[in-house]
Amino acid sequence: MRIAIVTELWRYPVKSCGGESLNSAIIGAGGVCGDRHWAVYDPIPPIIRSAKQWPRLLELRARYLAPPSLGDYGDAVAPVRLTAPDGSFHESSDLRACENWLSRWLDTPAQLKPRTPRADSALYALPSARTEQQIAKEIGLDAGETLPDFGAFDEDVAAALQFHATPPGFLYDAFPVHILTTDSLQFLSEASGLDADVRRFRPNILLEMISPSCATTEQGWVGATLKIGRVAVQVDSPTSRCSMPGHAQPGFDLREEKGLPRAMAEHVDRNLGVNVRVIEPGTMKVGDPVQLLQP
């Protein structure tokens, strides 16, 4: 059953930094080609950082200087340029200068690192196992607020994330692809009266429904398969939201929206969009039809 079309495609060369809008994308088992092949690294403790800990990463935008590939790791990862809202920029080809500039911008020592193969677990390791208190802080829970139910999460993913910042071998938070619908954005905007610009939520794929409804439509797809153009994906779980969408993103002219995290908690139970796995890789284009295949 045809239910939607692809209206936007995105990749984010550097984790937590603004990304690139695409007309077409190669999709592999690890997600969109070039998506989060770089990350900002804190040499003390050391640990991979995201905007959950360093919100100023959201102020930066990243783009590739050469085409990325699905299987690039380490020195083979395509070079990137980071640009700040003031127009200053640096490129990964001069890594030392880029890291000095990045450290000044963030006001803390920072390094730019490409993803490495899964066997290089040291890059991805946490200094210690995640605690509930750390998760609550990352998500931005209010005092006394209970943790979201992660029971729908894949057990292997949950186990890996207990001891690693991201799944080893990759720099996305938990799953290779994130899908969002215009239905959900409209629902949150109308329910809260706040700005729910898609760029606040960093999806890889934005779908426009053929029969729109003001509801969190994709939450009903968990467990189902979507055929999107030549690509097939399985919807694994709802995407649980942290406080990041409420921060300003001056590179995209998005102001701070302080009430957005609370609005997501109240109106969508912190779930907006879905996490998916790729089961049939291929090429996807803006305008591709989307079919819903029941499991």
Strand segments, DSSP code E, in the chain are: 2-11, 20-22, 24-28, 31-32, 38-42, 47-49, 61-64, 80-83, 89-91, 111-114, 177-181, 205-209, 225-228, 231-240, 271-280, 282-285, 289-293
Distance from C-alpha of 47 to C-alpha of 40, rounded to nearest angstrom: 9
Q: 3-state class of 21 per DSSP? A: strand
Distance from C-alpha of 286 to C-alpha of 293, rounded to nearest angstrom: 20
pLDDT tens per residue across span 195-240: 999 999 999 999 999 998 889 999 999 999 999 999 999 999 999 9
Distance from C-alpha of 207 to C-alpha of 231, rounded to nearest angstrom: 14
Structure-block tokens of residue 30: 């690890």
Range of the domain at 83: 2-293
Query: Percentage of the chain surpassing pLDDT 90?
Result: 80
CATH number for the domain including 142?
2.40.33.20
pLDDT tens per residue across span 94-105: 999 999 999 999
Distance from C-alpha of 37 to C-alpha of 69, rounded to nearest angstrom: 10
Q: Is the pLDDT of residue 131 over 60?
A: yes
Number of domains in the chain: 1
Q: What is the pTM of this model?
A: 0.93
Query: Mean of the pLDDT values across residues 56-79?
Result: 96
Q: Looking at residue 203, what is its pLDDT?
A: 98
Q: Looking at residue 75, what is its pLDDT?
A: 95
